């Protein structure tokens, strides 16, 4: 199916949203983080920021949710800006084929996480962002960056979620201590985790998240200022990582069904990037067995089918 650059998006997402609202099988809301366990599984929202500046949305697109691991995309972008490709000495770029919080590969691979989108990799990224800062400053930098990308100063961090993560984050603490034993964490573990938990606790709506992802559809360019957030090469590489690693051990299945680079989080959000065409955010809190939004993935599959936006579809050779 050829790519449709300007389909009637509002009609398409209205139809998908009505379909999703009637679904019973929504998966299970993450309950290992106290603030997430309370979220109503009946939510569904979607927003699309298009290449030509339109914002189209349906469902609960203006309700803020915990973006959790979707934040790993923004944190990686900041860390690459600080240390450039030296980052890849401390974090790999291969799919893990393991759960997001798995510790097993770290022993065989000497404390170098497989990629920046699993927890271990994101914790190293937090360590990099912390360099030369106090934790509060590093957290402030991440918040300012995301607000600037979305062009929206109302974005905030849910302190309740961040605190809950700190109180129950035994697994993340284990990952951080373990990597520190290999010398791949350089700051005190409590500080690194403080940055990581706050970044995961960013609360955003689908509209804010779709807007924040626009630079990745625009070859790294900020849509409002025209400045490069990252170079075109780096934007392509971040999209490649999202394609290969954005859904943990469900990344192959997502590529198979949807065919669009995406990053999920246990809050039920997914950010997807169709290069040159659209930045898409969906949210539905119920998760599948791999920790990715059940209805979010299904809605994206339907959207890709209706628009031809899979990156494997035929493109106009120009
Ligand atoms: N904050 C969550 C954790 O560290 C993020 C995981 C996720 O969204 N997959 O467990």
Reported as a single tens digit per residue, the pLDDT across 187-215 is 999 999 999 999 999 999 999 999 999 99
- How would CATH label the architecture of 69-200? 3-Layer(aba) Sandwich (3.40)
Quote the tokens at residue 186: 């350089």
- Spans of all domains in the chain: 9-66+204-307, 69-200
69 pocket-lining for ligand 1 (C-beta < 6 Å): yes
User: According to DSSP H, which parts of the chain are helical?
Assistant: 9-21, 34-37, 71-83, 104-108, 119-130, 135-150, 159-168, 170-181, 189-200, 206-212, 214-217, 232-245, 251-257, 294-307
User: What is the strand order of the sheet 156-157 is part of?
Assistant: 65-66, 202-204, 156-157
Per-residue confidence (pLDDT) for residue 99, from 0 to 100: 84
Would you say 169 and 110 are in contact if contact means Cβ atoms under 8 Å apart? Answer: no
Q: Which atom of ligand 1 is nearest to the CA of 68?
A: 8
Residue stretches of the chain with pLDDT short of 50: none
Distance from residue 244's CA to the centre of ligand 1 (Å)? 18
Helix (H/G/I), strand (E/B), else coil: 194: helix
Tens of pLDDT, residue by residue over 264-305, are 999 999 999 999 999 999 999 999 999 999 999 999 999 999
* Active-site annotation holder among 196, 263, 279, 282: 196
Q: Check pocket membership of 50 for ligand 1, CB cut-off 6 A.
A: no
Would you call 69 a catalytic residue per the annotation? yes
DSSP string, 204-263: E-HHHHHHHTHHHHTTTB-TTT--BSS-HHHHHHHHHHHHHHTTGGGHHHHHHHT-S-EE
Contact 230, 238 (CB under 8 A): yes
* Residue 215 annotated as catalytic: no
Q: Is 165 exposed, middle or buried (0-12, 13-18, 19+ CB in 10 A)?
A: buried
Select 9-66+204-307's CATH number: 3.40.50.410, 3.40.710.10, 3.30.460.10, 1.10.443.10: 3.40.710.10
CA of 33 to the centre of ligand 1 (A): 9
- Site of tokens 């298009």: 50
Ligand 1 mutation target, pool 142, 265, 287, 291, most atoms within 8 A of CB: 265
Check if the beta carbon of residue 222 is closer than 8 Å to that of residue 228.
Answer: yes
The residue whose CB lies within 8 Å of the most ligand 1 atoms, and thus the one to mutate among 30, 65, 119, 170, is: 119
Q: What pLDDT is recorded for position 5? A: 62
What average pLDDT is seen over the chain?
A: 96
Is 313 near ligand 1, meaning CB less than 6 Å away? no
Q: Indicate if ligand 1 lies below 6 Å from the C-beta of 115.
A: no
């Amino acid at each position: 199916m050829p790519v449709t650059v300007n389909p009637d998006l509002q009609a398409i997402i209205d139809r998908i949203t009505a379909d999703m609202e009637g679904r019973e099988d929504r998966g299970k809301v993450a309950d290992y983080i106290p603030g997430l366990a309370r979220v109503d599984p009946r939510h569904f929202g979607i927003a699309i920021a298009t290449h030509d500046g339109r914002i189209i949305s349906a469902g609960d697109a203006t309700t803020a949710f915990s973006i959790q691991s979707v934040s790993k995309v923004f944190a990686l972008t900041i860390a690459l800006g600080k240390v450039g490709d030296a980052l890849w000495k401390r974090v790999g770029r291969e799919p893990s084929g393991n759960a997001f919080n798995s510790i097993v590969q770290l022993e065989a691979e000497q404390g170098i996480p497989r990629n920046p989108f699993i927890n271990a990799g994101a914790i190293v990224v937090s360590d990099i962002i912390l360099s030369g800062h106090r934790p509060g400053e590093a957290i402030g930098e991440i918040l300012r960056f995301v607000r600037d990308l979305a062009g929206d100063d109302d974005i905030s961090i849910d302190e309740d979620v961040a605190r809950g993560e700190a109180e129950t984050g035994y697994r993340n603490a284990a990952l951080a201590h373990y990597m520190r034993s290999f010398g791949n964490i350089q700051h005190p573990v409590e500080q690194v985790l403080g940055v990581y938990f706050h970044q995961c606790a960013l609360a955003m709506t689908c509209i804010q998240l779709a807007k924040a992802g626009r630079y990745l559809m625009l070859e790294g360019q900020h849509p409002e200022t025209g400045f490069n957030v990252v170079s075109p090469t780096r934007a392509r590489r971040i999209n490649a990582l999202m394609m290969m690693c954005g859904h943990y051990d469900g990344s192959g299945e997502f590529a198979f069904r949807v065919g669009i680079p995406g990053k999920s989080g246990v809050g039920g959000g997914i950010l997807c990037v169709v290069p040159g065409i659209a930045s898409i955010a969906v949210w539905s809190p119920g998760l599948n067995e791999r920790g990715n939004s059940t209805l979010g993935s299904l809605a994206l599959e339907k959207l890709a089918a209706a628009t031809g936006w899979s990156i494997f579809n035929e493109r106009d050779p120009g």
